[in-house]
Structure 1
């Protein structure tokens, strides 16, 4: 294989790698956005249920068993809020994109561009960072959702207890 053919083959492999990394990067960005949207939706639900649960506990005369279960439900929903909030909190860890550039000077960026910074290596590192960040966020969404659902179930049970133990005995 002559020199020109080797250069063309290397260029072609580099273009394929660039396209592959761009696709991975776009997928990572989509997952991060999806996590943030899920967490925001769940936070909205918690923000609606939490004050209602607190109001019911403070403004009504519930049977003792219902109060205990309702307090557990409100506590579970309250604990889900910081877990879900951590999902939408920006991550400023690592050495990626704006975090890295924020610590640099314009001359650093310029010199990197002039000295042939390996953009594909940077894209690969960014893709890995995005995947790890998305997995962390998805795990937090799982925990937050579990807490939220458990809190909702406790509140539903408290409601059933209140209905079944009201004066008159049955529903």
Structure 2
């Protein structure tokens, strides 16, 4: 399933689940065109990960896809490519091709975004301002609960399919 079909399937599932209350609303441009609106995914946990194609942690892409495949419509994994640490490819087309060819990614993937400082995407500015979280490197992870609020953050090290992240997701889904 491609990312666009994934998004349409996700939209239908959320609409069926009913409305959820949110305090903030963020959209990210999709690397395939269009936008990802986090509010559309409310009602499900969302793992947001700042990524980079040339990082030593890039192999985590495979486990991010496995995590998305494992949780399917119960949770979302959103990859946010960033060149803030000078380890991303030159443009969105190169990132999209790399992710598809090397990892077969179908999970939602945004365009290249800044995740630190005053030029950061509004989502990351909100995380820094209201929740004290600023990515310190690539593949930092933020878990949002079903209402879109951050409940846990991790640095680059924890594996997306590892006990810590899956345990946190399972805990949210069981609540």
User: Does TM-score exceed 0.5, indicating one fold?
Assistant: no
Return the structure number with greater helix share: 1
What TM-score comes out, normalization by structure 2 length? 0.22
Return the structure number with greater strand share: 2
What TM-score comes out, normalization by structure 1 length? 0.22
- Larger relative contact order (CA 8 Å, sep ≥ 6): 1
